[in-house]
């Protein structure tokens, strides 16, 4: 029996309908038609993993099929994720997201076609505004009892993004493991796993103890999610991940892979010149990946994953919930560990 169910179709259908409605309501604004035309494919191209986790949590804890409130909250969560991605792509200067051109890159090309004086500024500025618009739409969908939770968890995500940017630009060897893990907790765990788990619990009227326990479990699951993201960013299949391999190296991202490589490599100075250099060649990226293989960096990172997997299972077993909930959470853990995109 499959315990974790994907609700991608249901969430997608809701979002398409909702965005069509907003497009009609805002049709008189100068950019609205163009924005919604470009936005809808981006919003609906995601895995809907966060939204599906919210709905699964609600259903298993309540013993009922998902409610309209749960579906709306799941859709709101996916919209929030899209808003973060739009801004994140600008910060990271990425041109590809979900196998599509990023919004700021699309508008930069439009600015070039129209011969605007600063196409790059035009593209980034419009994409920032679209990210804001998407975020405003989130709160139109939220049930009242989730507003504070969303505000708190999404704020942590923004703080984590700030920490990520700082670490990437500091260009120093001695970034600590604790710094990296704290950044992961804020940037990823807060809204990828803790938020959907707690939102599903709140909507199903669970007690405070269960909500706190799910938050702690979400922190561990989010660490696993981010470490897997780092792995796919380095060793994944571009056709499946929708992002270019090696982008984290060019952006100087401080990941566990970076941490362990700098701990073990002999020519640290050379590596410091490669990480964070947007102009490095594919050959240099391949050299870094070869070094990671030589120093068995993937094995070192996987040791962390194994410990986190055991911790997650322990936290799941400590939950005082019906057996179906625990089975669903363990299935989500396995999906997380095995994903390829």
Cβ neighbours around 222 below 10 Å, total: 25
Contacts of 205 (CB under 8 A, 6+ apart): 62
Identify the bridge partners of residue 101 per DSSP, sorted by sequence position: 96
- In the predicted model, residues of the chain with pLDDT beneath 70 are 1-2, 171-173, 240-243
Under 8 Å between Cβ of 23 and 33: yes
- Could you read off the pLDDT of 182-229 as tens digits, one per residue? 999 999 999 999 999 999 999 999 999 999 999 999 999 999 999 999
Asked if residue 130 belongs to a domain, the reply is yes
pLDDT at 98: 76
In angstroms, rounded to a whole number, what is the distance separating the alpha carbons of residues 248 and 232? Answer: 10
Q: Cα separations (Å) of 105 from 57, 93, 198?
A: 36, 9, 35
**With the C-alpha atoms ordered 94, 98, 100, 103, is the resulting torsion angle positive or negative?**
negative
Q: What is this structure's pTM?
A: 0.94
**Of 322, 52, 81, which is closest to residue 200 (Cα–Cα)?**
52
pLDDT of residue 80: 97
Mapping DSSP to helix (H, G, I), strand (E, B) and coil, where does residue 100 land?
strand
Distance, in Å, from the CA atom of 22 to the CA atom of 27, rounded to the nearest integer, reads 8
Alpha-carbon span 328 to 321, nearest angstrom: 11
- Considering the domain boundaries, does residue 3 fall inside one? no
Q: How many CA atoms lie within 13 A of 200 on its CB side?
A: 31
Buried b (16+ CB within 10 A) or exposed e, 164-181: bbebbeeeeeebeeebbb
Per-residue confidence (pLDDT) for residue 241, from 0 to 100: 64
In a domain, 22, yes or no: yes
DSSP 8-state symbol, 97: E
Tokens found for residue 24 = 């009609």
What pLDDT sits at residue 247? 85
The CATH number linked to 79 is: 1.10.600.10
Cβ atoms of 160 and 190 closer than 8 Å? yes
Please indicate, yes or no, if residue 174 is contained in any of the structural domains: yes
pLDDT tens for 141-153 read 999 999 999 999 9
Residue 1 resides in a domain? no
**What's the start-to-end Cα distance of the chain, in Å?**
24
Token pair belonging to 202: 């709140």
Residue 273 belongs to some domain of the structure: yes
Is residue 125 in a domain?
Answer: yes
Domain, as residue range, for 237: 8-338
Between vectors from CA 273 to CA 267 and to CA 279, what angle results, nearest 5°? 140
Any domain includes 105: yes
Q: Count structural domains, the chain.
A: 1
Nearest to 35 by CA among 146, 129, 166, 149: 129
**Which residues are CB-neighbours of 114 under 8 A, at least 6 positions away?**
none
Helices (H), the chain: 8-25, 32-43, 49-62, 68-92, 103-113, 119-141, 147-170, 177-184, 195-203, 208-235, 238-241, 247-250, 256-264, 268-274, 282-294, 297-318, 323-338
């Amino acid at each position: 029996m499959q315990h974790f169910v994907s609700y991608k179709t249901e969430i997608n259908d809701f979002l398409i309908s909702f965005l069509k409605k907003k497009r009609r309501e805002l049709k008189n604004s100068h950019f609205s038609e163009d924005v919604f035309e470009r936005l809808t494919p981006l919003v609906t191209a995601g895995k809907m993993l966060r939204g599906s986790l919210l709905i699964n949590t609600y259903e298993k804890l309540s013993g009922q099929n998902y409610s309209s409130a749960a579906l709306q909250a799941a859709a709101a969560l996916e919209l929030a994720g899209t808003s973060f991605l739009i801004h994140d792509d600008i910060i990271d200067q990425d041109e590809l997201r979900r196998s599509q051109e990023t919004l700021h890159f699309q508008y930069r090309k439009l600015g070039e076609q129209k011969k605007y004086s600063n196409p790059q500024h035009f593209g980034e500025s419009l994409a920032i505004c679209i990210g804001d618009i998407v975020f405003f739409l989130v709160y139109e969908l939220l049930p009242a009892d989730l507003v504070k939770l969303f505000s708190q968890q999404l704020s942590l995500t923004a703080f984590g993004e700030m920490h990520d940017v700082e670490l990437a630009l500091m260009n120093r060897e001695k970034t600590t493991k604790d710094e990296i893990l704290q950044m992961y907790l804020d940037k990823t765990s807060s809204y990828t796993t803790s938020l959907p788990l707690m939102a599903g619990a709140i909507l199903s009227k669970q007690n405070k103890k269960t909500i706190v326990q799910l938050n702690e479990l979400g922190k561990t699951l989010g660490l696993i999610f981010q470490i897997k993201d780092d792995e796919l960013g380095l060793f994944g299949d571009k056709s499946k991940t929708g992002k270019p391999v090696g982008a984290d190296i060019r952006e100087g991202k401080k990941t566990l892979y970076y941490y362990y490589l700098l701990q073990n490599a002999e020519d640290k100075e050379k590596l410091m010149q490669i990480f964070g250099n947007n102009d490095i060649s594919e050959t240099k990226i391949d050299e870094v990946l070869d070094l990671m293989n030589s120093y068995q960096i993937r094995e070192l990172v996987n040791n962390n994953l194994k410990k986190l997997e055991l911790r997650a299972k322990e936290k799941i077993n400590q939950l005082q919930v019906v057996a179906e909930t625990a089975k669903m959470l363990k299935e989500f853990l396995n999906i997380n560990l095995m994903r390829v995109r």
